[in-house]
């Protein structure tokens, strides 16, 4: 819950490099918060393999119960499919959290980084995907799993799209676009192949766009977008779509920008939100001080900006700006992790980010 002069956040470290980059992110967050007198209270909760070994669940009841008392939390990367079959979560803890806490909008800003040698140097696109339905079998049924195997060589996958979920998602997208000063929103679809479900999705935007007369809402087929993005990337500043299409579209954009190593994301609902990096657990470098906390730190900055929008907490906005400034400052100083072609360890990079935060000019705090 937000406090009058501060915030409470839960921290879930995850698997692989998760504990390392989460710890680094917390250090960066606290440095930024201290600079602007933002009081933070953090609660670390068990998740993933460590939680399973102790409680036989990757998301213990104690974690789920505690999260109900938090407005926001930071999630490190978790495994997807590597957990034991008797895990009651049955799949991906991240998907469970998105579905069961109503975190229906996944916001993924993608910007080109010079250090990644991007294919499109000035790429700047934000993909917002509906997070709770669609062709994701663990999220599209109230009870059970949306894939079926009637016989050994026949598999069925069920796609569920509901008007209620589409309406709340469309409203979020249009309000988000307005708040950030966008003039248009591109809605990606495949109505030619999926007329009923895509019709419900598109219909939500058609109904609501009248309430946002300053916004242009453009319908674009997902295949047309995939073909046009490399050539007309400036046309696609803010893109909204269904779950699976959004997952693929954001990864395509990240590839053109240089990769998902520094790609942040925010999973937002009506009253709660979760910061989560796009990349995975990178278990091969876990414990070697080689991981890059940039994506999770930038995701945390997005969470702080969400707090500002919900609670009008200017200290959150200022802290978010400091985190972004600190990361850019470290890289400009030549302190770059190995995944971006540099030689810095994770701890050295984190120290450089914190140093840049401490030296940030007053203009960054506005």
* pTM higher than 0.95: no
Per the structure block, which two tokens stand in for 152? 């050994």
SS (HEC) of 322-354: HHHHHHHHHHHCCCCEHHHCCCECHHHHHHHHH
Q: Which of 257, 278, 303 is the last residue of a domain?
A: 257
pLDDT grade for 2, boundaries at 50, 70 and 90: very low
Q: Is the pLDDT of residue 1 over 70?
A: no
51, 132: one domain: no
Per-residue pLDDT tens over the stretch 340-360: 889 999 999 999 999 999 999
When the pLDDT of each residue in the chain is averaged and rounded to a whole number, the result is: 92
Q: Where are the alpha helices (DSSP H) in the chain?
A: 18-35, 48-55, 61-67, 93-100, 163-179, 195-208, 222-228, 243-257, 294-311, 314-332, 346-358
Whole-number Å distance between alpha carbons of 18 and 197: 36
**Are the C-beta atoms of residues 268 and 71 closer than 8 Å to each other?**
no
Domains in the chain, number: 2
Q: At what angle do helices 314-332 and 294-311 cross, to 10 degrees?
A: 160
Whole-number Å distance between alpha carbons of 118 and 116: 6
Per-residue pLDDT tens over the stretch 128-152: 999 988 887 776 676 667 888 899 9
182, 157: one domain: yes
CATH number at residue 302: 3.40.718.10
Average pLDDT over residues 205-231: 96
135, 239: one domain: yes
Q: Is the pLDDT of residue 20 over 90?
A: yes
246, 125: one domain: yes
130, 236: one domain: yes
CA distances for 110 relative to 19, 119, 256, 299, 333, angstroms = 24, 13, 9, 12, 23
Per-residue pLDDT tens over the stretch 156-200: 888 899 999 999 999 999 999 998 899 999 999 999 999 999 999
97, 126: one domain: no
Whole-number Å distance between alpha carbons of 133 and 36: 39
pLDDT at 305: 94
60: containing domain? 1-104+269-366
331, 290: one domain: yes
Whole-number Å distance between alpha carbons of 8 and 20: 21
């Amino acid at each position: 819950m937000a406090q009058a002069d501060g915030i409470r956040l839960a921290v879930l470290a995850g698997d692989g490099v998760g504990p390392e980059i989460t710890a680094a992110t917390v250090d960066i967050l606290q440095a930024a918060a201290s600079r602007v007198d933002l009081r933070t209270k953090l609660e670390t909760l068990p998740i993933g393999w460590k939680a399973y070994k102790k409680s036989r669940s990757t998301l213990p009841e104690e974690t789920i119960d505690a999260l109900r008392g938090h407005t926001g939390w930071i999630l490190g990367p978790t495994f997807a499919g590597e957990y034991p079959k008797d895990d009651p979560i049955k799949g991906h803890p991240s998907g469970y959290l998105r579905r069961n806490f109503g975190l229906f909008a996944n916001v993924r800003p993608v910007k080109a980084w010079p250090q990644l040698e991007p294919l499109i140097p000035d790429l700047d696109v934000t993909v917002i995907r509906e997070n709770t339905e669609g062709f994701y079998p663990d999220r599209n049924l109230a009870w059970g799993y949306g894939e079926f195997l009637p016989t050994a060589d026949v598999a069925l996958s069920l796609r569920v799209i509901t008007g209620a979920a589409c309406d709340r998602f469309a409203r979020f997208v249009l309000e988000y676009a307005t708040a950030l000063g966008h003039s248009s929103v591109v809605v990606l679809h495949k109505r030619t192949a999926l007329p009923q479900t895509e019709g419900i999705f598109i219909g939500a935007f058609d109904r609501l766009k009248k309430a946002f007369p300053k916004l242009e809402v453009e319908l674009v087929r997902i295949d047309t977008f995939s073909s046009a993005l490399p050539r007309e990337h400036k046309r696609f500043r803010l893109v909204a779509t269904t779950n699976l299409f959004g997952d693929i579209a954001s990864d395509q954009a990240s590839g053109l920008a240089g990769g998902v190593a520094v790609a942040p994301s925010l999973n937002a609902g009506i009253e709660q939100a979760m910061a989560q990096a796009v990349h995975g657990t990178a278990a091969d470098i876990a414990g070697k001080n080689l991981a890059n906390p940039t994506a999770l730190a930038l995701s945390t900055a997005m969470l702080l900006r969400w707090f500002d929008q919900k609670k009008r907490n200017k200290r959150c906005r200022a802290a978010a700006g400091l985190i972004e400034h600190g990361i850019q400052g470290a890289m400009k100083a030549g302190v770059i992790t190995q995944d971006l072609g540099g030689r810095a360890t994770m701890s050295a990079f984190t120290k450089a980010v914190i140093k840049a935060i401490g030296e940030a000019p007053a203009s960054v705090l506005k």
